[in-house]
Amino acid sequence: MIWKQLRLPLLAFTGSLVFLVLGRVAVVPKVEATAEVSLNFPQDIPLENWQSVKNISPTNFESPLPKADQSYYYQKSTIPLAIEMRLLRSGDAEWFIEKKYGIYESSLVLRQQDGIGSYALFIYRERAYLSTCIVPWGGSTFTREEYTQSQALKGISWQRVMPWLMGQAPLREQGCLWAHLSVPLENLSPEVAYSTLENTWFSWYEWWSFYLSSSQFLTQVDPTRQ
Amino acid sequence: MKVTYPIVTQQFKTSPFWLLTIGSGLIAIHVTLAWRGDNLNVLGAGILFWVTVASMIWQRRYSLKLESSAIASGVGLVIISLILLRSLALPARGTFYGLMPLLSGLGVGLLASDFRGLKQYWGELTALFFIGAPELVHLFIPDISPITAKFSAFLLWYLGFEARLRNQVYIDLPGGGVEVYSGCSGIDTMTHSLGLAVLFLLMFSSTKWQKVIIPIVALGIGFTVNIFRVVLMAALVSENQMKAFDYWHKGDGSLIFSLIAVFCFGGFCYWVIQQNESKQNELQQSDLTGN
């Protein structure tokens, strides 16, 4: 009974809403939905067992990559460690390794760490590298397939639906924070270099996941959390 | 004392009036989005399809069952709210935009006639699906450009060009080559023609046999016309006519091929209608003579 009385007002309400939106759609200027990714990189990050240094020698080891958003240098006895951090809007760190180092998936050592995610190891001109990308929804991925899959599964949340509907933000979170660690192979065998990089990466990730959860990275990647 | 309203205000007190308002408003939103997003293909086809759907509903306006429950109306309202919210971002392409006509139809259908009543709109809903189908087709159908490239290269070779197919989608000619990428595969033209076939089947009575053959012919025309388009592109590149190439590839020329496909299919439909009419006439004649 109540429904019979309610139906007409409901239809009238819907109809008015439709015409309001029509009016707005007809006049509103067009803006593109983009995700702005930016991050305040801290100057000094403590790293267990490593001594933070301003520079390592050789400072400018031959890197084919564009300038890092922030570089970090550490020293442990005779081993110098360089960590380059970059924000990638594409989320595709694999692309840089392919294009800039000419190293493809088949010649990479891809490993998986429980609770974090995957990372890639490779050797280029007497240096051992560990490369992986920290994704905004937690964890790390390296290959673009992994990134896309992980994004499709976890990059989406209920808070994002409203801004997506309004055209203010993409439905899925985008981009990642690319960590690129390297040590020279002068005094190290590749196996030792790899395990050094791996152990460093695990504590490095721990620091960053805590930092990201409390920093502006997520708020700026994701306007819904402002 | 009895209050009398002028006729205009009395309309406000009927549910069909508001259903009509909601429906036409949603149509206007969809068309406006295509227009503002410069999506000319959808704009043209969209108007044609919407007019057809509106006339199909209008013809049956007295026989439609227009009662809905609270739950169905609620669902309809949610669907329409989603459309309205998403429309604020002015989409003119993409999956959601492609689904918008169908979702609009479902939303209004639920507000008007409950879940069970949706049955009476199956034809309209099918037609609405085809407005957005070009945006959705890549979700269901793999890229057919290798097939398009193969047929085009064969036709070029047959026409006397020294065409060679490389890596499935590259057609090499002595003076240059083209890549048949997914945008050139012809799937758009085919989807569009198929939509027209569906409209034709919904609007005109047809035999069972025709219901099968008309969509197939539509797909065939779409595919064939596109083959000729690719052949023309490749020939122009081969002759180094880049200005002509741009005209036929992206300029007004690219629309002419859609036009040709539509005309071919229109001619076929006209022939089908004439066939049906002459059959009808024969039956009437035999009725008259008593045979």
> What per-residue confidence (pLDDT) applies to B54?
93
φ, ψ of residue A181 to 5 degrees: the values are -100, 140
φ, ψ of residue B179 to 5 degrees: the values are -105, 125
Q: How many CB atoms lie within 10 A of CB B55?
A: 11
Q: Is the pLDDT of residue B39 over 70?
A: yes
Interface contact flag, B80 A18, Cβ < 8 Å: yes
Mean pLDDT, rounded, for B16-25: 93
Mean pLDDT, rounded, for B248-262: 81
Q: Measure A185 CA to nearest chain B CA, in Å.
A: 42
Task: For residue A25, give the nearest of B19, B33, B68 by CB distance.
Answer: B33
Which helix (H) or strand (E) segment holds residue B208: the answer is helix B208-238
- A58 preceded by a cis bond (ω within 30 of 0): yes
Edge-to-edge strands of the sheet including B170-173? B164-166, B170-173, B176-179
**How many whole angstroms separate alpha carbon B256 and alpha carbon B252?**
7
Q: Give the three-class secondary structure for A103.
A: coil
CA distances from A93 to A88, A133, A220 (A): 7, 7, 20
Q: What is the pLDDT of residues A120-175, one digit of tens each?
A: 999 988 899 999 999 888 889 998 888 888 888 887 777 777 777 666 667 777 88
Q: What is the pLDDT of residues B175-232, one digit of tens each?
A: 777 888 777 788 888 888 999 999 999 988 888 998 999 999 999 999 999 999 888 8
**Chain B CB contacts of A33 below 8 Å:** 89
Residues 24-43 of B with CB under 8 A from A: 25-26, 28-29, 32-33, 36
pLDDT along chain A (226 residues), means of 10: 85 93 82 60 87 73 80 88 88 86 85 90 91 90 86 79 70 85 88 92 91 60 37
Mean pLDDT, rounded, for B147-176: 86
Residues 61-80 of B with CB under 8 A from A: 68-70, 73, 77, 80
Residues 212-271 of B with CB under 8 A from A: none
Q: What's the complex ipTM?
A: 0.80
> What per-residue confidence (pLDDT) applies to A143?
87
Mean pLDDT, rounded, for B268-285: 86
Q: Give the three-class secondary structure for A183.
A: strand
Check the CA dihedral B62-B63-B64-B69 and report its sign: positive
B60 touches chain A (CB under 8 A): no
Average pLDDT of chain B to the nearest whole number: 87
- Neighbouring-strand partners of residue A79: A76
**Chain B CB contacts of A14 below 8 Å:** 18, 22, 77, 80, 111
Task: For residue A18, give the nearest of B22, B69, B88 by CB distance.
Answer: B22
**How many whole angstroms separate alpha carbon A19 and alpha carbon A78?**
72
φ, ψ of residue A108 to 5 degrees: the values are -95, 155
The residue ranges of DSSP E strands in chain A, in sequence order, are 51-53, 70-76, 79-88, 109-113, 117-124, 127-134, 140-141, 176-184
Q: Measure B188 CA to nearest chain A CA, in Å.
A: 25
**How many whole angstroms separate alpha carbon A45 and alpha carbon A9?**
61
Which structure tokens are listed for B143?
């890229």
Task: For residue B15, give the nearest of A11, A18, A166 by CB distance.
Answer: A11
Collect all residues from A whose CB is shorter than 8 A from any CB in B.
Answer: 3, 6-8, 10-12, 14-15, 17-19, 21-22, 24-26, 28, 30, 33, 162, 165-168
**How many whole angstroms separate alpha carbon B237 and alpha carbon B248?**
11
**Chain A CB contacts of B15 below 8 Å:** 7-8, 11
